[in-house]
A and B are shown apart, each in its own frame.
Chain A
Amino acid sequence: MLVLMARNLWRHPLRNGLTLAGIAVAMGVMVCIVSFGDGYRQALRGELDRAGVQMMLVPLGCPYDAAVRVLKNQTLENSLPASALVAVRRDPAVAVAAPLLMAALPRQNDRRTDLWVGLDDTALQLKPWWQVRAGQAWFNHAHDVILGSDAAALEMRVPGDKLYSPEIKQEFRVASVLNRSGTSDDSVFFVSLATAQQMFAQSNRLTAIAVRLKDPTLQREAATRLQRIPGAQVVTMTEMMGTFLNLLGAVRTLVLAVASIAMMVSALTVLNTLLAAVLERANEFAMMRAIGASRAQVFGLLLGESMALTCCGGVAGAGLALVAGSPIEALAKDWVPLTPGGSLLSISPSTVLPCFLLILGVGALAAVYPAWRAARLPPALVTKLG
C-alpha cells in the first residue's frame, strides 16, 4: 500500500512538488512563530534573572518607555537627582542599589552614536557576565574607560591605548576590554560615574537606579516605600515582564491568525491536487474496486497519499524553519521592543510537534472529500472507460 502511494505521488513530480512547497512554507512559518514566542519568554526571563534586579528606579515620565530604554541602553530625556540614590540605599530592604548615568554621543564624522555609561562599583554585583578580557579590573583614574567587546573592536583599541573623543575634547586611557556577553553592554563605553557626570555636565544626576532586594518576597512593601522618593518612580521587573508578555501575546495571536490563513491556503492546494488525481485516475480506482478493493481501501489510499504529502511538507517545513530561523531572527530583532541578548527562537520538539500534528490534521481534512468521491466510483465504470 505504501509503495503504491509513493508511486502515485511520484507520477506527477512537479504538481506534488508545488503542493509540498506550499505546505512546507506554511509549516515553516508556523514553527518559527510558535518557537519565537517561547524563545522570547525564556530569553527575557533569563536576562532579568541573571541580573538579579527586582526593580528599577526611573525618572518620572512614561515608566514603560523609560524601563525599555534603560534595558536597551538608550538615553532618557529626564534624569533622577542623586539624592534618590541616598534614599534608596537607606531603605532597609535594599541589598544593592546601582546607579547609572547614560548618555548618547552622536559621532557626526562616523555617522554613528556611541553610548557612554557611568557606573560605580556596585554595578559589578548586578552584572555577573562582566568579565575583563584584558587589562585592569576597574577604573583607577578619572580618565579610564572600559570598552565593551564590540566597542573595542570598532575603535580598534587594546588596554593601555589612548582614546581621544573629539566631541568631548578629552583624552581617555583604555583600562580594559570586556569579554563578549551577548547583551547590549557589548557596544558600550563604560566610565566611572563621577567621570560621566562631569563629561556630560550632569553633576548629581542619574539616569536610573537598579535595585536588588535582600529578600525578593518583600518586593511589594519595598516598592511602596521607594515610590515615595520625590522625582522617581519604581518599575518592578515582574510588572514589566507582565506588560511585555501581554504585548507579545497580543502580537502572537495576530501573527498566528495570519499564519493560519497561509495554512488554510495550502490546504486548499492539497484539496485541488487530490481532486485532480481522483478525476485522472477514475478508471484506476474503478478497476481497483472491480478486482475486489473495498470502498474503505480506496478511501484509505487517497487519505494516505494526502497524509504522506503533508508529512513530507511538514518535515521540509521544520527543516526550513531550522535553516532560515536565524536570519529571520536577526531581522526580527530590530523590530521587537526589548530584545533580550540570548537566542529568541527555540525550535524544540515541543514546538514542532503541535505544528506538525496540525498540518497532518489539515492534510487529512483536505483529503476527506476527494477520497469520498473516489470511494464512491462504481466498479462498473471500468467497462465504460476502458
Chain B
Amino acid sequence: MNWFLFSTKEWRRRPLRTAITAAGVAIAVAAVFSLLMFQDGYRQGLSREIDRLGAHILVVPKGCPYDAASIALHGANWPCYLNSAYLAEISRSVGVLSAAPALMAAFNNAQGAATVYVGIDDRMLALKPGWRIDGSFPHGSGEILAGAEVARRHAWKVGGRVALPEIPGRRATVAGILQPTQGADDTFIYTRLEDAQQWFQHRGELTHILVRLRDANLLEPTVLALRGCTAGMDMNIVPLAHLFHTIQGLMNSTRVLLGCIALIGLLIAGTGVSNAVLMSVTERGREIGILRALGASRVQVFGLIWLETIQVCVAGGVAGVLLAFFSSHAIESWLRTRLPFAPTDSFLCWSWSWAVISVAGAAILGVVAALLPAARAAELAPLEAIREGATP
C-alpha cells in the first residue's frame, strides 16, 4: 500500500466527518466560483445587450428617472415623452448615421407578465443588422412584427389575423415574426410608429430615439453637438458607453466587497478543515506512534496528514465547482430579482480557467490548513504515544 492510498483510509473511517468537512469547503468554494463566473459573465452580458440595441447614443425625454436606459433595454412604461419633431434635428446632426424613433408602451397583466408594444419605422432596421424576419416588416396600417417569444406564447403565425393582447377590441395582422435574438427584442411586439401613436394616444410623441453614429470615435463631438442644438435643451442625450461604465463601476465596487466576504468564508472553511484534521490526529495518537515506531520518519507522518487534508479540500473544491455550476440557474434568477441592471441573457458563464483556479485555491487552502495538525502529529514521541494513547 502506498502513502497515497493509505492517506485515503482515514477519511473512509469517518465518512460523516469527512463529508461535513468537505461540504464546508464546497460551500465556500461554490461562493467564490460563482463570483468569479459572475465577474466575466456580467460584463459580457451587459456589453452584448448594449450591442444588441445597435445604438451608440440613446435620446430620452428630460426629467425621466435615471433608469430610462434600463427601460429602453428591457421594456416598461414611460412616464414622459419626447416631441417627435426633434427627430429631424437629431438626424441632421453631423456624425449621426441613422436615428430611429420609438414609442414604447407596456402593460402588466394580473399574472405579472408584461406585454410591450414598440412603435418603430424602417429606420430601426439599420440599427439591428442581426434581425432575421420570417415574413415581412410591417408596412401597412394594422400590421405587426412579433418577437419570437411573444409569437410562441400566443401561437401566432405569419399572415394570421390576431387579437392584440391588452388592447381590447383591436385586431392586427402578423406581417412578420422575428427569429430569436436571445434578447429583450424577443418579448416585444413591434408595430408601425403611426399605429402605436394612434393606439396609445400619443400623437406626435416618442419615448426614445436610438442613434447610430458613422464612427464610434465620433461619440464625444456628436454628443456635444446634440446637446448644443435647440432641441438638445429638452432631451437627455445618454451615450451608452458612459452608461456602461457607470453600471460597471457600481458593479465593481460591489464585487470587491463580495469577494472579500467570500474569502472570509473560505478562511472559516480553512479553520474547519484544520479542526477536523486535528481531531483525527488526536484520535489516532496511538496509531501514529506505532507508525513512527515501525520506522516512519517525522517527514513521512507530516506528509501523510498533509496528503489527507489536501485530498479532502480538493474533493470539496470539485464539489463546490459542480455545486455552483448546477445551481447557477437558480442563483441567476435570484440575482435577476435583486440587481438593478441585470442583462437579459445568462450572466453566469462557465469558464474552465476559473474552475481550475477555484479547485487550486481549495488545494492551497488544504496545504495551509494542514500545517498545524501535521506538525502536531510529527511531534509525537512514538513510545509515549503507544503507551498512553496520548493526545498530542
**Chain A residues in the interface with B (C-beta under 8 A):** 12, 14-15, 18-19, 21-22, 25-26, 29, 33, 60-65, 78, 227, 230-231, 233-234, 239, 243, 246-247, 250-251, 253-255, 258-259, 261-262, 264-266, 268-269, 271-273, 275-276, 279-280, 332, 335-337
Contact = CB atoms under 8 A, between A and B. Distances in A.
A150 B271 CA distance: 44
A266 B274 CA distance: 12
Given A60-B237, A336-B253, A18 B262 contact: no
A272 B261 contact: no
B90 to A, nearest CB: 14
A226 to B, nearest CB: 10
Given A254-B258, A265-B28, A233 B265 contact: no
Nearest to A234: B63
B43 interface: no
A14 B268 CA distance: 15
A247 B24 contact: no
Interface string B239-262: 000110010011001101110011
Nearest to A258: B261
A261 B65 CA distance: 35
B279 interface: yes
Interface of B: 16-17, 20-21, 23-24, 27-28, 31, 35, 62-63, 65-66, 227, 232-238, 242-243, 246, 249-250, 253-254, 256-258, 261-262, 264-265, 267-269, 271-272, 274-276, 278-279, 282-283, 335, 338-340
Give the secondary structure class of B's interface: helix
B338 A250 contact: yes
Given A230-B233, A337-B250, A247 B340 contact: yes
Contacts of A275: 16-17, 20
Contacts of A250: 338-340
Contacts of B262: 258, 261
Given A265-B265, A275-B16, 9 more contacts: A18-B275, A62-B238, A63-B66, A254-B258, A265-B28, A266-B268, A271-B20, A272-B279, A279-B283
Nearest to A262: B265
A5 B132 CA distance: 73
A33 B23 CA distance: 25
A336 B249 CA distance: 10
Contacts of B16: 275
B229 to A, nearest CB: 11
Nearest to B392: A14
A246 B341 CA distance: 12
A102 to B, nearest CB: 19
A62 to B, nearest CB: 6
Contacts of A65: 66, 242, 246
Nearest to B279: A276
A14 B237 CA distance: 63
A228 to B, nearest CB: 9
B271 A227 contact: no
10 contacts: A65-B66, A233-B63, A243-B65, A255-B258, A258-B262, A259-B261, A266-B268, A268-B20, A269-B268, A335-B253
Given A272-B272, A335-B253, A25 B236 contact: no
Contacts of A61: 227, 236-238
Given A233-B62, A258-B265, A265 B27 contact: yes
Task: Sort A-B residue pairs by CB-CB distance and give the 6 closest, nearest first.
Answer: A64-B66, A335-B253, A269-B272, A230-B233, A262-B265, A268-B24
Nearest to B246: A65
Nearest to B249: A337
A64 B31 CA distance: 31
Contact of B265 (A33, A261, A335): A261
A157 B279 CA distance: 64
A261 B28 contact: yes
Nearest to B80: A227
Nearest to B267: A25
A255 B257 contact: yes
Nearest to A224: B63
A265 B338 contact: no
A20 B204 CA distance: 69
